[in-house]
Amino acid sequence: MLTAAAQATTGTLSDDAIRQTVLAGLEGRFTGQRVLVLIPDRTRTLPLPPLFRLVVDALRDARQVDVMVALGTHLPLSDEALNALVGITPGERATTFSHIRLLNHAWDNPDALATIGTITQDRVKALAGEVWHPSLGGDVPVRINRAAVEADHVLIIGPTFPHEVVGFSGGAKYLWPGISGPEMINVTHWLGALITVLHTIGIEDTPMRRMIHAAADMLPAPVSLMALVVDGGALAGIHIGSLFEAHHASAQLSAQRHIVWLDRPYRRVLSHAPAMYDELWTGAKAMYKLEPGIADGGEVIVYAPHLREISEVHGAHIRRVGYHVRDYFLKQWDRFADVPLGVLAHSTHLKGAGTYHNGIETPRIRVTLASQIPPEACAAINLGYLDPASIDVRDWQGREEEGVVYVPKAGETLYRMKTQ
């Protein structure tokens, strides 16, 4: 059920429409309750600062409001970064918003997690179908940040975009992987990798979405969702209500706003990863969203001249295994069985589809990195290299008829063939 909704037929919503919708959907619904509000980090486009103030106002009669960044395995934010994320000054945090606790999720701290159930191996097998592989393991413990268990109500606030692992981001994804333990993170991401990006991204009903919805049903606290659709940095849609219905509505609007349907595939793409992706772990989204629109034998250049790091959290594992197609891992599983499944999923998501036969790996397309990561480091992780200083984006513009295209601010809009 939706308690409030607004979406623009064209363009974006007015400030007044946003305010009215937020207040209609939230005001008076959490009186006397302990509310845990989940928000994204800076790797998602969202006008969060004004929304933060609106939501705090709407929840003014709640007993306690905690705001937690649904980091997944991303690094925790400093106090300065937390303030910047929600658009408040240190002085405001100490006064106007002193009753609001700003929190980081800690996926790797067992004391911060609570186990609320199990997804059985049989359920995982049923979800995976013909792609099931023993690497998915046995029963999956469903662990989540204790704050979600101790709250009277969980309120998720976040945008919806096409997503490489679950089909569309948002909704219950803020619970798993957003504030979950490593088991659900690893298994859902690896299941998505087994199914592949091409058969997942931009599809609303996926096995991974079903898995996180099954986990959400185990949470003792009720969950509400403010699902947002962002276009050009502004809000095009707001859907507030129950977890599943609000996400469904936002995914439908996201499919209209965030998918570019192509008559023919591109040969070469200069995919410009914005500065909000500060390491390749997230900057790889500039590849994921383009892969379905690239011709066999084509190339995606992830253009990220600001980027210097592969991953602060997972870099050692990535440097060990490199980037490879799915079957490179599956057909040599004994070599990689000790690597976290989430890392292997990231690896094959970035490398894309391809084959591995008789010791020869054949990716469907080439992936080249144009960043501050040096050529020898790119070669060591099995990616191409292009000097970012050699790139003039003007050389890539206006060449769509040649199958050559420049994509500014890549990572949130999906490009795919009409025939897919």
Owner of token pair 């976040």: 158
Residue 394, Cβ neighbours under 10 Å: how many? Answer: 8
The whole-number pLDDT of residue 420 equals: 75
Provide the CA 269 distance to its chain's centre, in angstroms. 22
Domain with CATH 3.90.226.30 in the chain: 261-417
Distance separating alpha carbons of residues 185 and 346, to the nearest angstrom: 12
Q: Which CATH superfamily is domain 2-257 in?
A: LarA, N-terminal domain (3.40.50.11440)
325: phi > 0 → left, psi -120 to 50 → alpha, else beta; which? beta
- What letters, b where the CB count within 10 A reaches 16 and e where it falls short, cover 80-96? eebbebbebeeeebeee
DSSP string, 358-407: TTEEEESSEEEEEESS-HHHHHHTT-EE--GGG--GGGGTT-GGGTEEEE
The whole-number pLDDT of residue 195 equals: 97
What ranges in 300-340 are assigned the alpha helix state H? 315-321, 326-330, 333-336
Cα distances from 242 to residues 29, 122, 148, in angstroms, run 13, 28, 16
Q: Is the Cβ–Cβ distance between 287 and 278 less than 8 Å?
A: no
Q: Indicate the SS3 state at residue 346.
A: helix
271 phi and psi angles, rounded to 5 deg: -105, 105
Adjacent-strand bridge partners of 367? 300
27: phi > 0 → left, psi -120 to 50 → alpha, else beta; which? beta
Adjacent-strand bridge partners of 67? 37, 102
Distance separating alpha carbons of residues 171 and 192, to the nearest angstrom: 17
Domain with CATH 3.40.50.11440 in the chain: 2-257
Adjacent-strand bridge partners of 162? 168
Q: Is the Cβ–Cβ distance between 356 and 327 less than 8 Å?
A: yes
The whole-number pLDDT of residue 410 equals: 98
Check residue 198 and report its DSSP letter.
G
Provide the residue-wise pLDDT of the chain in tens; the chain has 420 residues: 899 999 999 999 999 999 999 999 999 999 999 999 999 999 999 999 999 999 999 999 999 999 999 999 999 999 999 999 999 999 999 999 999 999 999 999 999 999 999 999 999 999 999 999 999 999 999 999 999 999 999 999 999 999 999 999 999 999 999 999 999 999 999 999 999 999 999 999 999 999 999 999 999 999 999 999 999 999 999 999 999 999 999 999 999 999 999 999 999 999 999 999 999 999 999 999 999 999 999 999 999 999 999 999 999 999 999 999 999 999 999 999 999 999 999 999 999 999 999 999 999 999 999 999 999 999 999 999 999 999 999 999 999 999 999 999 999 999 999 987
Distance separating alpha carbons of residues 308 and 381, to the nearest angstrom: 14
CATH of domain 261-417: 3.90.226.30
